[in-house]
Amino acid sequence: MKQSIHHLAVETSGKGLVAITRPVLAWVAAQGIATGLLTLWCRHTSASLTVQENAAPEVRDDIARYFEALVPEDARRYAHDDEGPDDMPAHLRAMLTDTHLTIPVADGRPVLGTWQGIYLFEHRRQPHRREIVLHLLGE
Amino acid sequence: MKQSIHHLAVETSGKGLVAITRPVLAWVAAQGIATGLLTLWCRHTSASLTVQENAAPEVRDDIARYFEALVPEDARRYAHDDEGPDDMPAHLRAMLTDTHLTIPVADGRPVLGTWQGIYLFEHRRQPHRREIVLHLLGE
Amino acid sequence: MKQSIHHLAVETSGKGLVAITRPVLAWVAAQGIATGLLTLWCRHTSASLTVQENAAPEVRDDIARYFEALVPEDARRYAHDDEGPDDMPAHLRAMLTDTHLTIPVADGRPVLGTWQGIYLFEHRRQPHRREIVLHLLGE
């Protein structure tokens, strides 16, 4: 049984989903582990992780629109706005989605379903450099 | 330290919660692992996992009603409807609940609380055959 | 590769976030594991876990206010009220946040970002004694 850790940097260009399936799968493949457990940890409270449909592009727009309505950028609702009107909504959107994902690995790859993609969900308006820690355990 | 992987098929009969605690506990018990870590991964983006009250049946109805209101099936809201009006709401409900669960195992069983049950949450109207990957690591 | 399990009891004083980062980090540090995987499991369906901004106190108030609006305590909405009007909203708030967290450990500590804190989110009005199971695996 062995472990590997990797820091994946993801550049975002403002709010929305950024596909990270490819670099994640590539890193896992390079570790030479057949069976194991992969964990992704997002080191931020204003960006998060999610697993979503990886085919239809309009899904991403629908997700963006839905979260704008679910957690509105409405300054009157929030006391915390140190970093602007998107600050507190970003924290809430992160709470409602995932800070971490843990995916079994079999036959050398994470057991994602055919249509599942892994995404970083940026909640801030400005571009950010986000850091995801990948941890793989197995043999 | 050893690992086991199992594919659990779950038949759903349209929207709602399907209890899977029993088959999950039975599989774990059969692996002969006293202390470890159990991970469940749902290989779909229109069904998800959740941990809920396992006693009162009206809880399930309340959950169903709440999610209908939180993520309405309203065609005007979504561009993506390739598979019908329940398509995009299914993806959003999956995002707001869990695609994976990771539960410590002690004394040969997952450390669920007295009232905690594990459920597959089907978000599509039609019956589906869903696939959950179980991964157990420990000794 | 070794494993440790610990039961952390957390006293709550009604609804809201209770910081548990300190006792979690202290327990991990005492296990003498440099690289590994930490899992926290909340053994309740009316309290949950979340990772949030650990600096600004008004963030906690904004979170409390947001969840009151997202999942209202409105008796007309729910059939299940065995334990009062905060019973069913507590289950729904737990579903929308986290029952478990899995965090990679590197250099002897969980890889939390600078601003990330770990919180127990109490959803009941009355004080409760909550039980969190910590599981650490690594070497």
Mutation for B interface: C2, C3, C43, most B CBs within 10 A: C3
Instruction: Pick the closest to residue B42 from B127, B122, B133 (CA basis).
Output: B133
pLDDT in tens, A71-104: 999 888 999 888 889 999 999 999 999 999 999 9
Question: Sign of dihedral through CA atoms A70, A75, A79, A80?
Answer: positive
Nearest to A78 among C1, C62, C139 (CB): C62
Strands C36-42 and A36-42: unpaired
pLDDT band at A24 (very low <50, low <70, confident <90, very high): very high
Rounded-to-integer distance, Cα C128 and Cα C139, Å: 35
What is the average per-residue pLDDT within A99-125? 97
Residues 6+ apart with CB under 8 A from B84: B125
Structure confidence at residue A37 (pLDDT): 98
CB contact under 8 A, B115 and C45: yes
Instruction: Pick the closest to residue A130 from A41, A5, A56, A63 (CA basis).
Output: A41
pLDDT in tens, B110-138: 999 999 999 999 999 999 999 999 999 99
Structure confidence at residue B55 (pLDDT): 75
- Region class of A16: left (phi > 0), else alpha (psi between -120 and 50), else beta: left
pTM of this prediction exceeds 0.90: yes
pLDDT band at B21 (very low <50, low <70, confident <90, very high): very high
pLDDT in tens, B68-87: 999 999 888 999 888 889 99
pLDDT in tens, A9-23: 999 999 999 999 999
Structure confidence at residue B100 (pLDDT): 98
pLDDT in tens, B37-70: 999 999 999 999 999 988 788 999 999 999 999 9
pLDDT in tens, A39-71: 999 999 999 999 998 878 899 999 999 999 999
Contact present, C122 and C130 (Cβ < 8 Å): yes
Q: Which residue has the higher pLDDT, A124 or C80?
A: A124
Structure confidence at residue B82 (pLDDT): 82
CA distances from A9 to A19, A41, A130, C56 (A): 12, 12, 6, 26
Contacting residues of B for C82, CB less than 8 Å apart: 56
Structure confidence at residue C117 (pLDDT): 97
Rounded-to-integer distance, Cα B22 and Cα B14, Å: 20
Nearest to B99 among A51, A58, A139 (CB): A51
Structure confidence at residue A49 (pLDDT): 98
CB contact under 8 A, A36 and B3: yes
Structure confidence at residue C122 (pLDDT): 98
- Region class of A29: left (phi > 0), else alpha (psi between -120 and 50), else beta: alpha
Token code pair at residue A43: 């080191």
Residues 6+ apart with CB under 8 A from A17: A50, A52, A60, A63, A64, A119, A120, A121, A122
Nearest to B41 among A66, A96, A104 (CB): A104
Contact present, C112 and C103 (Cβ < 8 Å): yes
Structure confidence at residue C31 (pLDDT): 97
Whether chain A has a CB inside 8 Å of the CB on C3: the answer is no
Whether chain A has a CB inside 8 Å of the CB on C50: the answer is yes
Read off the DSSP letter of residue A48: E
Question: With a cut of 50, which residues of chain C have pLDDT below it?
Answer: none
The type of residue at B3 is Q
Whether chain C has a CB inside 8 Å of the CB on B29: the answer is no
Structure confidence at residue C57 (pLDDT): 84
CA C134 to chain centroid: 12
Structure confidence at residue B9 (pLDDT): 98
